[in-house]
Amino acid sequence: MPLQYIFLSHDVDWRKQGPPKEHVLNRAERFDESTIRNIDSKNPYYNFPQYMEIEERFDARSTFFFRTKYENGDVTDYEDEISSLKKGGWEIGLHCDPSSIYDLAKIRQEKEILESLTRTKVFGNRVHYLGFNNELPKKLQELGFVYDSTVKNSKDQIIKEDFGFFQLERLFEFPITLMDAYMFTYMGLSEEQVLPVVQKALNESRQINASFNIMTIIWHDNVLQMKGGRMYKKILEFLTQQDDVKICTGINLVNILKNA
C-alpha cells in the first residue's frame, strides 16, 4: 500500500496562444537556442501533448487548474485540451482569479464557465497567485467545491506545515509543498538541484509521517521547455520508482481520505 501520496498539479496561467513573442524573447536565457530560433512556428509555453505523454508513460495522472480569465485570451480556446485530458483520466480544476475571491457570485460564474467546458462538475480550486482569505473556504464549500489547494506557508523553504492536508469544515485543503516557480526564484535552485530537493522533500514527508503523508506539487504547464522546468520527466521517473509513493489527482486524494 502506498504511504506517501503526491498530489500532482499544473496551473494553466497563459492563454493557449501563449504570451506575446517579446515576453518570451525577454526571457530567452531560460530556453535552449533552438526553442528561441523556432519561436515563430512553435509557442514554447504550450506543452499539453508532452505532459500527457510523459504522465501516460509513468502511468500517473494529475490535475490541471484552468483560469477562466486570460489576458487577451479565452478559456474556450482550451476546449479540445480539456476534452482530451478528461477522456484520458486527468482532472480539471478551477484556477480562480484573485479578483473573484471576495465575491461568491464571481467564483460561481468562473465555476460555471469551466463546467460548461468540462461538461461535469468541478470539485477542486486553486487561486491564481495563491490569493486567499479566511472566508474563501466557506464560499468554495457553498459552491460545491470539495477541495482547495492554495495555501503555501513558506516560499523559500520546505516546511512541515506545507505537507499533508487539513479540513476547513468539509472542505479539504492541500497546502503546496513544492512549486516550480518558487524553486527557481525564492529557493534559488539551479537545474542540478531540482531532483535532490524533490528527494529531500520526500524524505521529510516520510519523516513527518512514515505511515501516511501527502506532498502537493505544482509544475506550471508553460515551463516544460525551460531550464529547470524541463526536469519534470526526471522528477516523475524518480517518484514512480519509489515503492511507497502514489501519484494522484486532487479529487482522487479526497476520495482516498473520505474512505480511509
Q: By CB under 5 A, name the binding residues for Zn ion.
A: 11, 13, 128
Question: Between residues 174 and 205, which has the closer beta carbon with respect to Zn ion?
Answer: 174
Cβ 13 to Zn ion, closest distance in Å? Answer: 4
Cβ 10 to Zn ion, closest distance in Å? Answer: 10
Give first-to-last CA distance, the chain, whole Å. 13
How far is the C-alpha of 96 from the C-alpha of 98, rounded, in Å?
6
How far is the C-alpha of 38 from the C-alpha of 31, rounded, in Å?
11
Cβ 126 to Zn ion, closest distance in Å? Answer: 8
Question: Between residues 95 and 213, which has the closer beta carbon with respect to Zn ion?
Answer: 95
Question: Between residues 61 and 67, which has the closer beta carbon with respect to Zn ion?
Answer: 67
Question: Between residues 13 and 91, which has the closer beta carbon with respect to Zn ion?
Answer: 13
Question: Between residues 46 and 213, which has the closer beta carbon with respect to Zn ion?
Answer: 46
State the burial class of residue 2 (Cβ atoms within 10 Å of its Cβ: 0-12, 13-18, 19+): middle
Q: Which of 180, 176, 181 is closest to 195 using CA atoms?
A: 180
Cβ 16 to Zn ion, closest distance in Å? Answer: 15
Question: Between residues 5 and 65, which has the closer beta carbon with respect to Zn ion?
Answer: 65
Cβ 218 to Zn ion, closest distance in Å? Answer: 9
Question: Between residues 47 and 205, which has the closer beta carbon with respect to Zn ion?
Answer: 47
Cβ 33 to Zn ion, closest distance in Å? Answer: 28
Q: Enumerate residues 6+ apart whose C-beta is below 8 A from 247.
A: 5, 6, 8, 58, 60, 61, 62, 236, 239, 240
Q: Strand, helix or coil at 64?
A: strand
Supply 43's cell numbers: 509557442
CB 137 within 8 A of CB 125: no
Diameter over CA atoms, the chain: 52
Supply 170's cell numbers: 468539509
How far is the C-alpha of 35 from the C-alpha of 46, rounded, in Å?
12
Residue closest to Zn ion, measured at CB: 128
Cβ 78 to Zn ion, closest distance in Å? Answer: 14
